[in-house]
Amino acid sequence: MNAVRKVRKVWRGTPTLEGAGVRLKRAFGYQHVPELDPFLLLDDFHSNDERDYIAGFPWHPHRGIETITYVLHGRVEHGDSMGNAGIIHSDEVQWMTAGSGIIHQEMPKGPGLLWGFQLWANLPASHKMMDPRYREVKSGQTPEISVEGGAKVRIICGELNGVKGPVRDIVTDPEYLDVRVAPRSEFLHTAKLGHTVFAYVIEGKGYFDQGRDPYAYEMEGANYFDFKRNCLIGPESLILFDDGDQVKFTTADEAVRFLLVSGKPIREPVAWYGPIVMNTQEELRIAFEEYEKGTFIKSGKGKS
Q: What confidence score (pLDDT) does residue 136 get? A: 95
DSSP for 87-102 reads: EE-TTEEEEEE-TT-E
In a domain, 129, yes or no: yes
Q: What confidence score (pLDDT) does residue 177 get? A: 98
Full domain range(s) for residue 51: 7-293
In a domain, 225, yes or no: yes
Contacts of 229 (CB under 8 A, 6+ apart): 214
- Cβ proximity of 233 and 205 under 8 Å: yes
In a domain, 301, yes or no: no
Regarding beta strands 75-80 and 14-18, do their DSSP bridges make them parallel or antiparallel, or are they unpaired? unpaired
pLDDT along the chain (304 residues), means of 10: 87 96 98 97 98 98 98 98 96 98 98 98 98 95 96 98 96 97 96 98 92 51 44 92 96 96 98 98 98 91 52
In a domain, 303, yes or no: no
User: Looking at residue 222, which CATH number applies to its domain?
Assistant: 2.60.120.10
In a domain, 50, yes or no: yes
Q: What are phi and psi of 288, to 5 degrees?
A: -70, -30
In a domain, 142, yes or no: yes
d(CA 249, CA 78): 35
Into how many domains does the chain fold?
A: 1
Q: What are phi and psi of 296, to 5 degrees?
A: -70, -40
Number of Cβ within 10 Å of residue 211's Cβ equals 12
pTM more than 0.85: yes
In a domain, 1, yes or no: no
Q: What confidence score (pLDDT) does residue 299 get? A: 77
In a domain, 146, yes or no: yes
Scanning the chain, the segments in alpha helix (DSSP H) are 224-230, 281-293
Q: What confidence score (pLDDT) does residue 171 get? A: 94
Q: What confidence score (pLDDT) does residue 210 get? A: 73
